Each structure stands twice: as structure tokens, then as C-alpha cells.
Amino acid sequence: MKKKSPGLERPRAAESEPLMPAIISPPNKTEEDRLMDLEEVAEKLGNISTRSVRRLIARGDLPQPVKVLSSPRLYHSDVVAYLDGLKQKRDTATQNTRRKDTL
């Protein structure tokens, strides 16, 4: 029988650390920022047409798309930022309307 060196022994299964961590961390922001095709963007914006998405891009409301194999894509974070901007405009307009009512 061959003798093994003490330093080269493999740890037993019970002694080794688990392969998966016990706590799963939330995804990084960069992992969340994925590319979306225009159909996905249209659906995210309330089931509008892809033509309307192209109009928003042409108007400058949405940024210019990134081309992936000649297919236009937008970053998820850009779409969310656009929706947040719309929400902020709505909230500002509502506040201004309330001020006029009280004056």
C-alpha cells in the first residue's frame, strides 16, 4: 500500500466547505441592466407599438439604441429612467395644480 504525504490529503466531504453559499445575495445593478429589444420596451411602456418607441427615440425622449447584430436594443435602466421622469413630471404637474387651487 502506498503512503500519502500528510499535506496532500484531500479533505473529507464533511470537512470541506459547501459549494453554494448559504445566503444568496441580490443581483448587482450591472446584472439588472440588460439590453431589451424594441418589442420588450414597447410592452414595458404599456403595450405601445414599436413604431411609437421609435418615435420616442427620434424625439429624444429615449436614448439612441445600441445595435447588436443590427438589431436595436435599449438598456433596461434607460427605460426605467424614462418612466421615472414621466412620473416626476406628473407629480410636479399635480403639485402645481394644487397650488393654483389654493390661491
User: Per the domain annotation, does 10 fall within a domain?
Assistant: no
**Of 28 and 80, more confident:** 80
Written in H, E and C, the secondary structure of the chain is CCCCCHHHCCCCCCCCCCCCCCCCCCCCHHHHCCEEEHHHHHHHCCCCCHHHHHHHHHHCCCCCCEEECCEEEEEHHHHHHHHHHHHHHHHHHHHHHHHHHHC
Q: What is the CATH number of the domain that holds 42?
A: 1.10.1660
User: Per the domain annotation, does 12 fall within a domain?
Assistant: no
Domains: count for the chain: 1
Tell me the per-residue pLDDT of 28-71, one tens digit each, with 9 for 90 and over: 665 569 999 999 999 999 999 999 999 999 999 999 999 999 99
- What's the mean pLDDT when you consider all of the chain? 82
User: Per the domain annotation, does 60 fall within a domain?
Assistant: yes
Q: What is the pLDDT of residue 97?
A: 74
Tell me the per-residue pLDDT of 22-36, one tens digit each, with 9 for 90 and over: 565 555 665 569 999
Residue ranges making up the domain that contains 59: 32-102
